[in-house]
Homo-oligomer: A and B are copies of this chain.
C-alpha cells in the first residue's frame, strides 16, 4: 500500500538515502555525486520547494519536490522533480507520484508544470511523463554529462493543469 504525503523533518533521512543513490548513478540528475547532505536538503526541502514522500509501510520508497519554476511573472508554472529508490522501481511509484504532484500543483494554484532537465536517454521517464500529459517543447544538445554515455541531450517538457 503506497501512501504519498507532504514530507516533514523526520522524513529527510529516507529522502537523503534515495537522493544519494539516484545521484550516484549519474544518469538522470545534474547534481554531482559529491552533493552534500546539507545541499541536498536545501535543494529538495527549502521553501518555496515543498517535498513529498511516497511510503510503503514506514519505508520511504520515493520522493518528489514541487516548486515554482520561476519567480514573479513565471510563478504560475510549477516545477517538479521525482526520485524513486532503485530497489522500488518498476512498481508504478513514479507515475503515482506524478499524479499526486499534478493534484498538489493544482491545489496550490499553479496552471502549468514544466520540467527543465529530462535526460534524453532516460526513455522510461520520458514515456511516463508523456503518458501523464507532458509534451516535449525543447531539446538542448549535450548539456548533461551522463556518467556512462557522455554528453547527452536534455528535453524540456510541459503541460497545462
Q: Which residues of A contact B (CB under 8 A)?
A: 26, 29-33, 35, 69-77, 112, 114, 116-117, 137-147, 154, 156, 158, 160
Contact = CB atoms under 8 A, between A and B. Distances in A.
Contacts of A31: 71-73
| Most chain B C-beta atoms within 10 Å of own C-beta, residue among A140, A144, A147, A160 | A140
A158 B145 contact: no
Nearest to A154: B74
Contact of A114 (B137, B140, B158): B140
A30 B71 contact: yes
Q: State the number of copies, please.
A: 2
B70 A30 contact: yes
A73 B122 CA distance: 15
A72 B137 contact: no
Contacts of A144: 70, 73-74
Contact of A73 (B71, B76, B112, B145): B145
Nearest to A72: B32
Given A30-B71, A31-B71, A70-B30, A156 B143 contact: no
A74 B158 contact: no
A99 to B, nearest CB: 22
| Most chain B C-beta atoms within 10 Å of own C-beta, residue among A77, A139, A146 | A77
